[in-house]
Structure 1
Amino acid sequence: MNDGDDTTPVPASSEGPAQNWPVPDPPDEIYDPTEEGAEAALRYWWELRVYARNTGDTEPLEEFSDEACEICDLQIDRVQEMYESGWFVQEEDVLTGAWVRPMEWDDFEDEAFAIFRLVEGGFDGYWEGSHLGKEPEGAEVAYAAHLQMSDHWTIHNFQIVDEYEEGRSELEDAQ
């Protein structure tokens, strides 16, 4: 653990959660009502998730999550519960294959839809100083996301579409 007034960033480890760890800087694009802005916000949300899991600070994640987003709330709650008496050491998530398009219906101004693949980084869990175990890197999972623009893009909702298995063919899916 970090002692005193030392402001040197210390990463999360078996010794404790990250200390003095800087909040990731938001990309400038997330303030633009464009496809690029929505994709940047999507990638930034997952970066903030890793930050929250390593530090226990969920405030930035909450800022970029809509109040109606159930998966967002679940992720935030999971971090807050763990940090009551423990911490995470979270590896980076890998988001690939993002496809983002604006929703162009009259009732859905400043909204976007995204489909992407994500491999959640592995993590270690610690509770009351004891190692609970290591969760390995997750399977590649396809997600759909709904984003909304106000002052900046926020995640309105996520939905798991399917687990992606390398080499799986359409024939195997049909059987």
Structure 2
Amino acid sequence: MSSLGVRRQFAAVSLALAGALVLGACSGSDDPDADAAQSPSSPVSPSTSSTPSPTPTATYKPASAEGPAENVPLPEMPEEAKVESKEGLIAFARYWYELVNYGYETGDVEPVKAISGPDCFACQSLYSGMGDVYGTGGWIQGGDIEILTLDSDYQLTPEGRRQVLVSVKQRDMVYWDGTGNADRRPGDEISFLQIMEISFEDDGWYVHIAESTGD
């Protein structure tokens, strides 16, 4: 499969602020004569401590002819997507597509791989396609997937999975090969359907199948 043949197979920062804790201790004598014998103490200036400035968040920069996207935020799984329910399944499917878009924009497919099985054909196409592009110094501009509809009857298949039907479109995409050459691919004019089969395992939802239905 060509590096961009994957497009038909697919159609998601908190700052830690350090605080300063100043501990003060006072001591004195119970002997009033001892206190009287002490010379007046010099005024002590209140101690001051500077509050660390927040670490600035790196600015996101989309891909362009000059280079790949920079500082792309990794999608965070919503809490709802961790729940074994129809709503949780739908939220998880949306999150999965966010990770696919993240893979297109960065070349990093490990987040998708972590929640997808080895028999997912579209997943394997994504892995190899992004490896071909980014592994040779190229990058992708655009090509993100837009979800139009996403639904499930939440019935179990004989394999114990839940099916999700997704209507998607993929936007215009430009493949830059790292030497200034561009391969432009128009986006989808009409949407197409994909089917997913997902099961809830001990550690959450897991994608087994994601493929186009041919409709």
TM-score with structure 2 length normalisation?
Answer: 0.66
- Say whether the 8 Å CA contact 2:115–2:205 is kept in structure 1: yes
- In the alignment, what sits opposite 1:73? 124
Q: Which amino acid aligns with 1:92?
A: D
* Corresponding residue SS for 1:52: helix
Structure 1 gaps, min length 5: 1-5, 164-175
Distance 1:50 1:33 in 2: 24
Q: Which amino acid aligns with 2:98?
A: E
Divergent runs of 4+, >6 A: none
* Corresponding residue SS for 2:94: helix
Kindly provide the CA deviation profile for residues 87-108 of structure 1, in whole angstroms up to 9, marking residues without a partner as x. Answer: 1012431112222133336751
Structure 2 gaps, min length 5: 1-56
Q: Is 2:86 the counterpart of 1:35?
A: yes
Of structures 1 and 2, the larger Rg is shown by 2
* Corresponding residue SS for 2:127: helix
Q: Which amino acid aligns with 1:58?
A: V
Query: Higher strand proportion, which one?
Result: 1
Distance 1:105 1:59 in 2: 27
Distance 2:156 2:107 in 1: 37
- Say whether the 8 Å CA contact 1:69–1:155 is kept in structure 2: yes
Matches within 5 A, 1:13-162: 13-85=64-136, 86-104=138-156, 108=160, 111-138=161-188, 139-150=190-201, 151-162=203-214
TM-score with structure 1 length normalisation?
Answer: 0.80
Backbone CA RMSD of aligned residues: 2.0
Q: For residue 37 of structure 1, report the CA deviation from its aligned partner.
A: 1.4
